Amino acid sequence: MPKMKTKSSAKKRFKLTGTGKVKANVAFKRHCLTAKTSKMKRQHRGTFMLFKTDSDNVKKFYLPNGG
């Protein structure tokens, strides 16, 4: 059976923390920013942690080798 490959798109979108959580970027902050509120732009800065069920799927199907 061949080796499992890491999905290239997932490498660019997700990072694993030291404790095994999955860190991702927040969506809706790239363009048309004049229509978005200051609160939304402020809260969407930086990254967030995925929920456990989502992170389990990402680690199993997209980052099998740890990203």
Residues 6+ apart with CB under 8 A from 34: none
Q: What is the model's pLDDT at position 19?
A: 94
Q: What is the pTM of this model?
A: 0.81
Using one digit for the tens of pLDDT, what is the confidence trace for 14-49?
999 999 999 999 999 999 999 999 999 999 999 999
Rounded Cα distance, 36 and 60, in Å: 35
Rounded Cα distance, 66 and 13, in Å: 13
Strand ranges (E), the chain? 14-16, 22-25, 47-49
